[in-house]
Amino acid sequence: MPDDMSASPERRRERRGSFHVRTSVAGKRAPPSPVLVYCISAIALLASIGRTLAPKEELCLGSFWCISLTPVSCKPQGIKYELHTLPVDAKAVTDGDTITVYVNMANHPESGNVPQEVQKAVIERTKAWVAKNCQRANALQKIILDAGYRQVPNMRGEHVLAKKYQIRLRGIDAPESLMPYGKEAKEELVRLVQGKSLKISIYDSDRYGRLVGDVDCNGVSVQEHMLKKGLAWHYTAYDRRMELSKFLMNGHFQWESQARASRTGLWASPDPEKPWEWRKKKRIGTM
């Protein structure tokens, strides 16, 4: 008969490699094997290193141990969170640097914080639609709108609950609507974002309650686009990023400097008025 069959159950379990704690003759718990301690420490270290590797990779240790190496996405410093919007309506573009967007609450970082009265109003409004009770549906719609939400169609035409945000494009300042090139700036922004879903990296909020962020439209930086089109200034009072600036960097023109050099858009004028100076004149009544 083989040795394993004649050994006690405790001895057989230990020989099979299980992690049962060994005991001494006196029945007291023996200290863990140094080899086991080192192995566990190595596994923990490899797991932490794996967070920076490519997605869906596995590190296998022998025949039985595999660690999933799930990466942590690396975001630029200062980003608080990201918003992924529903398709943007042309009417939601206020001017060349401000957009009103709606975010599907199902994909929202605050999806669990929708007020109960809004949740109830959405359910009751759906019932009113089915019953063709327009008066009831409109009253419930007002409750939803007053709370900062709205039911809007998604890409499939389904009505979903969305929250409204006003977004100020970070780092640029476009001409005001009544300024030269103000109309052109708004129209260009409409052409770029109309009907598109945007990815917005939120950094802060301004004194008007708008969220300040970098806007990506199908892989295109909206700020970069507006600066290169000569329809915005680098807003240096609030943003010092060199790629937005009018200066040369490593011998290359930056986004604003490209438009200046080619006299694109508002840079066709020798000395275009800056929007922050225009606003200051309006505030003190010198216009």
Catalytic residues: 168, 176, 210
Asked if 256 contacts 233 with a C-beta cutoff of 8 angstroms, the reply is yes
Q: Which long-range contacts (CB under 8 A, 24 or more apart) does 260-264 make?
A: 260/230, 262/230, 263/230, 264/228, 264/229, 264/230
Beta-bridge mates of residue 172 = 234
Q: Token pair for residue 206?
A: 């301004």
Q: What is the DSSP string of 91-141?
A: GGEEETTEEEEEEEGGG-TTGGG--HHHHHHHHHHHHHHHTT-HHHHHHHH
Asked if 133 contacts 187 with a C-beta cutoff of 8 angstroms, the reply is no
Which residue type does 37 have? V
User: H-type helices in 229-274, by residue range?
Assistant: 255-262
Rounded CA-CA distance 197/181 in Å is 26
Q: Which long-range contacts (CB under 8 A, 24 or more apart) does 252-259 make?
A: 255/223, 255/224, 255/227, 255/228, 256/227, 256/232, 258/227, 258/228, 259/227, 259/228, 259/229, 259/230
Asked if 163 contacts 102 with a C-beta cutoff of 8 angstroms, the reply is yes
Calculated CA dihedral for residues 122, 124, 127, 132, nearest 10 degrees? -100
